[in-house]
Amino acid sequence: MATLPQDPALDSAFSLLRHGYRFISGKCRTLHTDVFRTRLLLRPVVCMQGAEAARLFYEQDKFLRHGAMPARIQKTLTGVDGVQSLDGQPHRHRKHLFIRQLMSPARIEALATLHQAHWHAAMAQWPLNRRMVLFDEAQKILCQSVCAWAGIPLPASELNQRAQAFGRMIDSGARLGLAHWRGRRARKSAEQWISAEIKKTRATGPENSDSLLQAFAWHRDEQGHLLPAGVAAVELINVLRPTVAIAQFMTFSVLALHEYPYVRAPLESSHPDYLDWFVLEVRRFYPFFPFLAAYTRQAFTWQGFEFQKGMLTLLDIYGTNHDPRCWYQPDTFNPERFSNWPQDHYTLLANGGATYEHHHRCPGEWITHRLMKVMVRFLVDNLHYEIPAQDLSFSLADMPALPKSRMIIRPVAYQP
Ligand code: HEM
């Protein structure tokens, strides 16, 4: 049994800020390992990468999620006491609510239809030749679609403010200073808004409606108690906020269409699978969440290395999505790699790994995939646009990463 390889740096917090998405894989390369011990802000942390590490990370007798998410992320991105922080039976019970509400094909199609209609409505009003910041428009259209789908009233006059608030919650977890505090304020106001909707729903009694608002307002825990209104709001925001976050992948989809123009022909043809492969490749290739966090639940040995109980452990998402052992030429954008993908659960970690029911894998993964398809189809089939000169670069040190210009397009023709 060996001790874990040790990062020789006294503290690697600065290196994490400097290297961002490439921090774990970069250290792994230097130390010739898939797992190492380091210190982040003086705290000992284990970092891991690769499919075998992912398989280990999702073993529930070895890892716990409760308390693993840093407070600054809970106060901005995820909220406190949400499904992400639960383990065991309480997690499975709460997760079932998300799976029921988010993963039925009929529900996903209803959201996709709404989303498509909102893109058409937005474009019908957009003056041709006027520049559009695609990331900002996508956030608004996603916010509008998901609120309508979830049964949450959203007056047109509030759309910009609400979409921007979700955007700030997503953007601010890893930021410092003002940007971070803006994210905290945005979360507070979103929680007040959605808590008020939950309370209103409860005050008027159960309705004969299958909206998400009704389902979350009336959800009961394993003891049969309604969730505190604040927690029900955190969970409903766990649907709204990440749906708005799909704008990041939509933006990268447009970047991919621009930078790898050879994908257009198969997308325009009636190839039955190419759009799925394209969306999968965008989700693999481009950065989104950098890593996942959990605590070791007990001491154990893995691949000859000794893990102590209670160690904060980070699993590298970006590095695993770019691991050459899992992906041939991982830094090449190549949708066709998915033509013979075995669909295993530990190599493509963009939305987490393992199972939806028993693990923390993202219950919005199918929605993400479907809405990206709606948007790419719309861009390819209904819109003719130009890409004006702009700074399309993005930095892997920025978490979350986004092209600097937020992807400006100039629509020149729209076909309803
Ligand atoms: C969890 C990614 C969209 C709802 C997660 C996790 C990741 C992720 C990496 C953590 C997995 C883990 O801890 O093992 C993404 C990405 C998205 C996205 C990249 C694209 C924008 C969505 C959407 C929804 C959603 C659209 C809801 C409609 C959730 C929830 C969890 C989660 C509720 C917590 C699940 C649990 O703890 O059991 N997501 N997600 N996500 N996601 Fe997503």
Checking if the pLDDT of 88 tops 80, the result is: yes
> Is the C-beta atom of 351 inside 6 A of ligand 1?
yes
> Is the C-beta atom of 406 inside 6 A of ligand 1?
no
ipTM value > 0.85: yes
pLDDT of res. 228:
97
Checking if the pLDDT of 151 tops 80, the result is: yes
Are 364 and 351 in contact, with CB atoms under 8 Å apart?
A: yes
- Centre of ligand 1 to C-alpha 356, Å, is 10
**Angstrom distance (rounded) from CA 179 to CA 359:** 32
> Is the C-beta atom of 138 inside 6 A of ligand 1?
no
Q: Is the dihedral of CA 175, 178, 184, 186 positive or negative?
A: negative
SS3 string of 294-335?
EEECCCEEECCEEECCCCEEEEEHHHHHCCCCCCCCCCCCCH
**Angstrom distance (rounded) from CA 51 to CA 328:** 14
Residue of 59, 238, 284, 362 with the most ligand 1 atoms within 8 Å of its CB, for mutation: 362
Q: What is the position in ligand 1's atom list of the atom closest to the CA of 83?
A: 37
- Per-residue confidence band for 175, with pLDDT thresholds at 50, 70 and 90: confident
Q: What is the position in ligand 1's atom list of the atom closest to the CA of 317?
A: 9
Q: What is the position in ligand 1's atom list of the atom closest to the CA of 91?
A: 38
> Is the C-beta atom of 102 inside 6 A of ligand 1?
yes
Average pLDDT, the chain: 96
Summarize pLDDT for 95-126 with one digit per residue, the tens: 999 999 999 999 999 999 999 999 999 999 99
Mean pLDDT across 262-289: 96
Checking if the pLDDT of 75 tops 80, the result is: yes
Q: What is the position in ligand 1's atom list of the atom closest to the CA of 98?
A: 33
Percentage of residues in the chain having pLDDT higher than 90: 95
Determine the topology of domain 13-414 in CATH: Cytochrome p450 (1.10.630)
pLDDT of res. 177:
86
Residue with token string 């992948």: 249
CA angle 212, 66, 236 (to 5 degrees): 15
- Centre of ligand 1 to C-alpha 284, Å, is 15
Summarize pLDDT for 308-356 with one digit per residue, the tens: 999 999 999 999 999 999 999 999 999 999 999 999 999 999 999 999 9
Checking if the pLDDT of 208 tops 80, the result is: no
**Angstrom distance (rounded) from CA 316 to CA 319:** 5
User: Rg for the chain (alpha carbons), in Å?
Assistant: 21
